Structure formats: structure tokens, C-alpha cells
Chains A and B, each alone.
Chain A
Amino acid sequence: MTDNLILSGVTRQFGDTTAVDNVSLSVEPGQFVGVIGRSGAGKSTLLRLINRLVEPSSGSVSFQGSEITALKGKALRDWRRGCAMIFQQFNLVDRLDVLTNVLIGRLAEHGFLSSMAAQFTDEERALAIRALDRLDLVPQALQRAGTLSGGQQQRVAIAKALVQQPKIMLADEPIASLDPANATLVMDGLKQINAEDGLTVMVNLHTLDTARAYCDRIIAMRAGRVFFDGTARQLTDDVVRDIYGLQGLAEFNESVTSTAARPTGQFAQPA
């Protein structure tokens, strides 16, 4: 019996294309894992296979020894609550206020009637406000989510993920739609949750320097397969060229894809 999140031989086909091809991974609790790779390499599908927003064609996903791919109904919803996901486009409900958006993270615990009537307990509201406070968003709690900036919306999404009281946090390109300052805020938020709450974080990234700065472990995908799995230091320029298929390019500069506010190389390791 292990506490790890284990993927073994996970494959997902969409018609003729194989988005994720025979992926096997083992993620220890508390790890901060970055997933990198070209667009269409299968990063997004990989994350969605873990919380079953996408069903695997074959293979198995298990967590703490229990099989995830067999879950149904309430058990499946409990699992989704336990591995919160944040998205590139935030996926908030624009026309609802921030507080209600955060409380959506509690829906898995609700019955039909209390959910339809949007009846949340005082404890749940307190939990939501504390989560918003951690992300400095209490003043915006009663605003419509659609009126916030991108960076604020992504932090609302993180607060929603926190009230799910998850064991794993999945983040699908969380900073791809954000400017550098907001991207840093969001990544720092994820790192802080990882360090303070001991949550496992799996994050898809397309900026290499961000992956290097924040991740304990980097997994690179290419054409649906795991192409590299190691630490940031093991990720050499030659490996990077192979990952992104840049063999033709003599010069390759990481800072071209960077969204960091500071130049690459001087990026401080967050405390």
C-alpha cells in the first residue's frame, strides 16, 4: 500500500489520435510537479484523466491504493472534490459573486435540495472567506466574478479549490492567460499552498523558466508519451530541444517564452 498517485499504462485515444500514450507515473504526496511539452503533447488530457473529466481508453489510475478509474456517482464526485482543478480560463461563473463561486467548491458535500436552493452553512461561508483571505480577495467577495481581472479570477479559482479541502491540486496552464505580475502571484499562491498545507500540486506549464523556478520535479511530454522525468537541473538544453522539437534551431533562448517579470537566471527561488 502506498500513498502515491499512481498512473500505470494510461492511454487515451480521440478517434485516430492518441492524446496520452501508455503513461506510467508515480507522484509522492507533497510533490510540486510541473508538466511541460508542446501544444498538443497531451498535458491537458493527462491532468483531466486524473480527475476523470476525461475517461481513459485503457490503463489505471490509483490513489492511496484505491482504483480511481472504477469510481461512480457519489464516490467519483468525492474524488473530484479531493483533487481540485484550476483552469487556464478560470472556469468561474461570471454572473455569480466571488463568494458563491468559492462555495461551489463545497457542492460535492451537499444534497439535491440545499444545492438547488444555494443554502450554504455558516461554517462553509467562514471557510470560503478564510480561503479568500489567504489570497487577499476578501474585499472583492461580493463582486461579480466577471468584473475581476484575470489574475484575481485565477486566485478566486484557487480559493474555490482550497475550500474543496483537496489532497491534490491540478492546474491546467494556470498562468497562460495572465500577465507576468499576476502569473507570479498565482504561482506563488500555489507554491505557498504546497508548502504550508502539504498538498500535491501538478501543474501544466508552457514556460520553462517558471517550471524550473517552482517545480521539485519536471515531467516533459512529447506526442502523448513521457519523454523526460527528473529535476530542473537534469533538464539540459539538449533535452529541451528534443522536447519542443527545436533541432533545426541552432539558437534557443528560454527567455523568449518567458512570462517572468524578471530576466531569466535572476529568478529568485520562492521561500
Chain B
Amino acid sequence: MTATADIASGSRPQGTGAIADFEIAFAARRRRMRTSWAIGAILFLIVFAFTSWIGDFFKVTQVSMPDGSREWRWIIPAGIPRLGEFIEKTIPALRWDTLGVDIAEWFWRWQIWMGLLFETILIAFMATVLGVIGGFVLSFPAARNLAPNRWVLLITRRYLEIARTVPELVWALIFVFCFSVGPMAGVLAIGLHATGALGKLYSEVNENIDMRPLEGVKAAGGTWFDQVRYGAVPQVLPNIISYTLLRFEINVRASSIIGYVGAGGLGQEFRVAISFQEYTDLSALFVIIFVTVMVIDYGSEKLRHRVIGLGERTS
């Protein structure tokens, strides 16, 4: 009998033994996997139910009825109609025969708003520049594979964490306190937050690079800076450009709200509109920001795809 025939008929004693062992091991592994899935699913459901309860999702509250009486209702169906009420308030009166006048009425502060929109984009641009410089420089000591020693890694990582954990609005409050009301506080606030966020993203890109070119630079007598400059930077550059453009989009959104605490840009108009209960102004501002962000998103997406080479491929 040939060896092949032996295997085919399964008659080799050591072969059947190994297969039986496999069956036992496989059954045991499947049992373990099913148990851990069941435990995981139960834990998730408990945590989800608990957070919903803490978050008032099951709350029953008193609601004023149209006839003036007060009744107890579950909060979710009671609240949803209020959303429609709010939207109705913000929608301006637009009539077909007086459309031009109505739109002019809707955007009655357009000169101020366009000026502030320009300021908003400048804040986002300058904050992105600051964030890129800070994040780029710090991303190398913050990468596990590149950090010259443990302490440098620890300190840069903690700094980046603090910079991005504190929200832009909170940084803005602090900088408005330091440098008074105006766009400078906004630039610093968004720039600092962007440093933290970009530094983290860049350092993760750095951690995935091929280390052999760096060894090649080191073996030629290069310093740590030479290794990063020649070995690492060329590898990560396309990703860094891509993340930078993405961050610019995020920063435009951030700078359009940051004026709410006095740090420059369109945000301050939200505050004015809400405090004077000019609800149609809110919708006008929303339209302005929505169109701006859409245009910038579209442009930077095209640019990013070109950078990472997607544009060259034909689908």
C-alpha cells in the first residue's frame, strides 16, 4: 500500500489518533468561544440598560397638554414634538412672489456674517498650521519605535493627551481669560487641541513604518534626527498630508462654534441670536456654515485622494 492510499483511507493509527485529538481540542475551543460570547453579550446588555437609565431614557415627566392640563408622560414621545416646534420657529417666512425680499430679510446681517465667516476660515487655517507644526515635531518622540528613551516618550505622550483631552471650548475659555475676547484665543485653543489630536494620529503612522531604512541611516553614522529626517519622514509624508487636510475640515467646524465663548468667528452670532430669540438667524447661520463646510470638505477630499494616490486609479 502506498503512503497516499494510507492517508486517503485514514487507516494509519497515528493519523486517526491525531484527528481524534484535534476533534477534542476543537470542541473545547468552540465551547470556550461560545461561553465567552454569551458572557460578553450579557455584560453589554446590562451596561447598556444601566447607562440608558442613568441618561433619563426611561424618565416619566409632567407634560402640559393642549387643553392646559398637566399629565405624566414618558419623556421620549413627549419631547419629540418639541423638535418640530423648534425647527418651525427657525424657518423663515419665504413666499414665492416676494422671494428676493424674503431672503434678504432672512440674511439681513449678511455683511457682518461674511466678515465673520472669513475670520472663521482664517482661524481654522492658522490653528491647523500651529497644530501641524506641534503635532509633527512631537509625533516622533511620541512613537514607541522612535522615542530616544522612555522618559521622552512618556512626557510627549502625556502632553499630547492633555492637549487633545481638553475640548476646544474649554481651551478657548482659558485663552479668552488670558488674551481677552478675539480670534487669537480661538487660534490658540483650536491649535492646541489640534496639536494633541494630530500628534496622536501622526505618531500612530510613525509606529507602522519600516524600521530598516532608519537602521541604514544609523549604520552610516546618522544621528537620531538624521534617522527620522531621512528614514521616517519620507515614509509617513503622504499620510501626514492626508491627516492634515482632514484636520482642516474639522477645524473649520470647530472655529465656527468657538466664538460662542468669545474666541472669534461666526460662533458669537449664535450667542447673539439665541439671547435675542432671533430663531430665523440661527437657521441662516446654519445654512452659511453648512455650505462652507461642504465646500471645504469636498475640496480637501479631492486633494487628499490625489495625495494618497486614489485619484490616479480609474474605477
**Residues on A facing B (Cβ under 8 Å):** 51, 53, 77-81, 84-85, 87, 89-96, 100, 104-105, 107-108, 110, 112, 115-116, 118, 157, 160-161, 164
Contacts and interface: CB of A to CB of B under 8 A. Distances in A.
Given A93-B230, A115-B226, A85 B221 contact: no
A91 B215 contact: yes
Nearest to B236: A95
Interface string B221-239: 1110110011100110100
Contacts of A115: 222-223, 225-226, 229
B161 to A, nearest CB: 27
B92 interface: no
A105 B219 CA distance: 9
Nearest to A111: B223
B230 A77 contact: no
B216 A87 contact: yes
Which interface class (under 10, 10 to 19, 20 to 34, 35 or more) fits B?
A: 10 to 19
B212 A105 contact: no
Contacts of A95: 234-235, 237
Contacts of A84: 219-220
Nearest to A144: B234
Interface in B230-286: 230-231, 234-235, 237
Contacts of B144: none
Given A92-B213, A157-B216, 8 more contacts: A87-B215, A91-B216, A96-B230, A105-B220, A107-B217, A108-B220, A108-B222, A118-B229
A64 B225 CA distance: 30
Given A104-B230, A112-B225, A116-B225, A93 B213 contact: yes
Given A93-B230, A115-B229, A164 B215 contact: no
Contacts of A89: 212
The listed residue with most A CB atoms (<10 A of its CB), out of B212, B219, B237, is: B219
Contacts of B237: 95
A104 B234 contact: no
Contact of A107 (B213, B215, B220, B235): B220
A108 B219 CA distance: 10
A263 to B, nearest CB: 33
Contacts of A107: 217, 220-223, 226, 230
Contacts of B234: 93-96
B216 A77 contact: no
Interface string B145-186: 000000000000000000000000000000000000000000
Contact of A53 (B219, B223, B230, B231): B219
Given A92-B213, A95-B235, A85 B230 contact: no
Nearest to B212: A91
B206 to A, nearest CB: 15
Nearest to B211: A91
A91 B221 contact: no
15 contacts: A53-B218, A77-B222, A80-B218, A84-B220, A89-B212, A93-B217, A95-B237, A96-B230, A96-B234, A100-B230, A104-B230, A107-B230, A108-B222, A115-B223, A115-B229
A115 B223 CA distance: 10
Contact of B219 (A51, A110, A118): A51
Contacts of B212: 87, 89-91
Contacts of A160: 216, 220
A255 B120 CA distance: 72
A85 B219 contact: yes
A81 B221 contact: yes
Contacts of B225: 112, 115-116
Nearest to A77: B221
Closest 10 A/B residue pairs (Cβ) = A108-B221, A91-B216, A81-B221, A77-B221, A95-B234, A85-B219, A80-B221, A91-B212, A93-B213, A107-B222
B235 A164 contact: no
A93 B221 contact: no
A47 to B, nearest CB: 10
A110 B230 CA distance: 13
Contacts of B231: 93
A91 to B, nearest CB: 3
Contacts of B221: 77-81, 107-108, 164
Contacts of A91: 212-213, 215-216, 219
A138 to B, nearest CB: 21
A50 to B, nearest CB: 11
A104 B223 contact: no
A144 to B, nearest CB: 10
Contact of B220 (A81, A90, A112): A81
A93 B226 CA distance: 12
A209 B215 CA distance: 29
Contacts of A112: 223, 225
A91 B235 CA distance: 13
A80 B222 CA distance: 9
Contacts of B223: 77, 107, 112, 115
B291 to A, nearest CB: 38
Nearest to A163: B220
B218 A104 contact: no
